[in-house]
Amino acid sequence: MDFKKTILWAVFSLSGLMLYNNWQVQQGKPSMFGGAPASTQIAADKTSPTGKADVPPSVSSNNAVVAANPVVPSGAIESAEKFVLQNDVLVLEISANGANVIDAKLLKSLTAEKKPIELFQYTPTHKYFARSGLIALNNSDLPNHTSTFKLVQSGKDGSGRPFLVLANERNGVKLEKTFVLNPGSYVVDVGHRVTQSAASQNPIVLYTEIVRDGMQEQKIGPFDGAFSASTFTGPAAYTDKEKFNKLEFTAIDKNKITIPTQVPAGDPAWIAMVQHYFASAWIPGDKVARDIYAGKIDNGLYRIGMQIPLGVVAPGSTVVEKAQLFVGPQEEKVLETIAPGFELLKDYGYLTIIAKPIFWLLEKIHGFVGNWGWAIILLTILIKLVFFPLSAASYKSMARMKEVQPRLMAMKEQYKGDPQKLNQAMMEMYRKEKINPLGGCLPVLIQIPVFISLYWVLLSSVEMRGAPWILWIHDLSIPDPYYILPLIMAVSMFVQTKLNPTPPDPIQAKVMMYMPIVFSIMFFFFPAGLVLYWVVNNLLSIAQQWQINQMFGKKEAK
């Protein structure tokens, strides 16, 4: 019985811990149940002594350091000419200053006001953009993200794809950036065409970067819900050797980042900036070895970048380096088709091994019913069927416990003041009656990993964002606006408690009595989809428990 008491306290403590976690999230602090810990194994910027340089130094060619160019003058990007590139899902704004992608509107991801979400932005309050440029080992000034580019060509290519070509030339080196959008795609094909017109034996390096401020989460609208700040926001990188690594802004601030192994030629690698539901990433070619770096630059901006050595470009010759720029939602089906490991941008945390199959099954069900709410209900029924044998055994155990409840109360009175003899008498009775006193706890303990996995599926899946169910539930990814589902869940838990035998120990009895209250308060903060799962699970459990109780009641009457 002491072990059963321990189990009950463990469940109660977990409930309190999750409640505290959600309060922490509401205060803008990281979730204690977040994804896998962020890695710090990414190279720090090898910049000037201040560490605040804007144009990156080269970390290639034996890590030779290049003095940094001045930062972009204040207002240069804002006042520069803008060029627009658009397909049916994405609108990009590219600045003539640096040919940087400074604005990206996602036409199929809307705010509460039915306006497209702006993932990339360059405003006085929020900066998040992608850029690229050239650096040289002899410190010569080459076209980079501070240069003024001119429009060379625009329109649609032979396949009907919109494109832009922007160019700048410095010190005999010409850089042409070509941006091409494919229909229905969040991936931009970016070509960097480098032409050398002067005699030079100086190696050239291409860099691609994503830059943003340190805001932990960009509040786009109510669709982001109460849990938007609990997911990871910041730089990330993927290499074939080290797989997916995340880098906290705080780790960069504290300079707790180390130089990584160079990405070998032929190995896939990419860099990204991740936030709740959405991400951006540079996916360069893999023909040559590359270097990943990250750091903090002026004005509170952070960057993650990759450098690709182009080598010595002979006079009169041209080198073309192709890359892809992804700007869009973390839709699992889409991510899987873009690059190796790219689906890891959608992070399920430690329980990925359970969460991914749950989402796969949920998505298959949604394909049939066309509504995520009904898909969650059907998924709950399937999970309940999987656990049915275990649940039936535990409910039978609880029903038998209810049968012997009067005898337990009599024992408690008989051995009042002698807990040791009471426990011995109870265990002897359990042995004779073939009752497992821990049977009722097992379903709860086994369902906890499934519950947490489903929590991360509903929290991380942009597919659930803005998805309605019925009546007042217009978005399953945020809490119930009228708290009806949490109240129904509290009532269902209370009914379940009444169907179960009252523990003879007063402490256990109080734990069971307060459990519905604690859970209902905790579920006030949870996404409606998760509460819907738990409500349906409780209702099915009540029906199963009631039927078993009735069966044992008839046997007892006979």
Query: What's the pLDDT score for residue 443?
Result: 63
Beta bridge partners of 187: 326
Across the range 10-27, mean pLDDT stands at: 49
Instruction: Give the whole-angstrom CA distance, residue 194 versus residue 12.
Output: 64
User: Residue 481 — φ and ψ, nearest 5°?
Assistant: -65, -25
The Cα 493–Cα 399 span in angstroms is: 17
Taking residues 206-216, report their average pLDDT. Answer: 88
Note the pLDDT tens digit of each residue in 505-518.
Answer: 566 666 666 666 77
pTM: 0.77
> DSSP label at 473?
-
205, containing H or E segment: strand 204-213
CA distance to 40, 106, 137, 211, per residue, from 260 (Å): 9, 34, 21, 20
Max avg pLDDT among 280-289, 395-404, 478-487: 280-289
For residue 238, report the phi and psi dihedrals to the nearest 5 degrees.
Answer: -125, 130
Return residue ranges of the chain for CATH 2.70.98.90: 36-347
Measured between alpha carbons, how far is 278 from 121 in angstroms, rounded to an integer? 14
Query: Which residues lie closer than 8 Å to 547 by C-beta, 6 or more apart?
Result: none
pLDDT digits (tens, 9 = 90+) for 525-537: 788 888 888 888 8
pLDDT in the model for residue 35: 46
Q: Distance between CA 542 and CA 546 in Å, rounded?
A: 6
What's the gap between Cα 360 and its chain centre? 16
C-alpha to C-alpha distance for 453 and 349, rounded to whole angstroms? 9
- What integer pLDDT is reported at residue 127 of this predicted model? 92
Choosing among 2.70.98.90, 2.60.200.30, 2.40.50.100, 1.20.120.140, the CATH entry for 36-347 is: 2.70.98.90
Name the pairing type of β-strands 90-95 and 82-86.
antiparallel
Sign of CA dihedral 50, 55, 56, 62: negative
How many whole angstroms separate alpha carbon 91 and alpha carbon 107? 7
523 in helix, strand or coil? helix
pLDDT at 9: 44
Confidence grade of residue 490 (pLDDT, cut at 50, 70, 90): confident
C-beta separation of 186 from 107 below 8 A: no
HEC secondary structure over 309-332: EEECCCCCCEEEEEEEEEEEECCH
